[in-house]
Amino acid sequence: DEFGGVSQLGGFLKGCYEFISKDVPVISVFDGDEAGVKERTRLQSYFGKKQIRFESNKDYISVRSGFAIEGLFPDDFISDAMETHPSWFIGGKSVDADDVIEPFKVQDNKKTNLLNFFLEKCRVQPICGWISRWEKVFNVIDSALRDKSESITNKKRTEDTSGNTSAHQAA
């Protein structure tokens, strides 16, 4: 099921990030497409004005520049889908001068079809043939979560040893 788009994520973060990020490691993942970039820059401006850190690869992750999350699959998967199911895409297939897939848009009602198409390709190919972009994103998420978790834990230890009462102890 669809949980909403990037603007819903932005609204949630504006309302909650400042508070939940003090106690819970929070990492947001943004598509690298136009909508993702637009919302991410809005949030950077919003949090910047409030002097709340919102840094790339620390507080949020952007996937492949210019692409929605589907762009993390190998270009040959994408090209095959575009050739096999052109009606799933808005505007058709486009490649640059180096024959590299350019950013694309998927019909909203065809995203599940495309995901299933990609997953089937993943099932029949060795993982090393398609994991590269996903692995990079997951490694950055892992690292950011680990760093945030350590930071929160260290801050709580410092508060506990300095005599300050954390919100959890006061409850």
Q: Model confidence over 26-51: pLDDT tens digits?
A: 999 999 999 999 999 999 999 999 99
pLDDT digits (tens, 9 = 90+) for 61-74: 999 999 999 999 99
**Boundaries of domain holding 50:** 1-66
Is residue 85 assigned to a domain? yes
Is the pLDDT confidence value at 1 over 50?
no
Tell me: do 35 and 96 sit in the same domain: no
Q: What is the 8-class DSSP label of residue 87?
A: G
Domain boundary among 48, 66, 84: 66
Q: How many domains does the chain have?
A: 2
Q: Are residues 6 and 55 in the same domain?
A: yes
Residue 35 lies in a domain: yes
Return the pLDDT at 34.
96
Using the 3D structure, point to which of 66, 81, 108 is the last residue of a domain: 66
For residues 61 and 39, membership in a common domain is answered with: yes
For residue 147, give the H/E element and its range: helix 132-161
What pLDDT score does 144 carry?
Answer: 98
Q: Is residue 142 part of a domain?
A: no
Measured CA to CA, the distance from residue 130 to residue 74 in angstroms comes to 6
One domain, residues 126 and 74: yes
Half-sphere exposure of 139 (CA within 13 A, CB side): 6
56 and 74 both lie in a single domain: no
Among 66, 93, 120, the domain-final residue is 66
Give the tokens for residue 72.
């993390």
pTM of the model: 0.85
C-alpha distance across the termini of the chain, in Å? 36
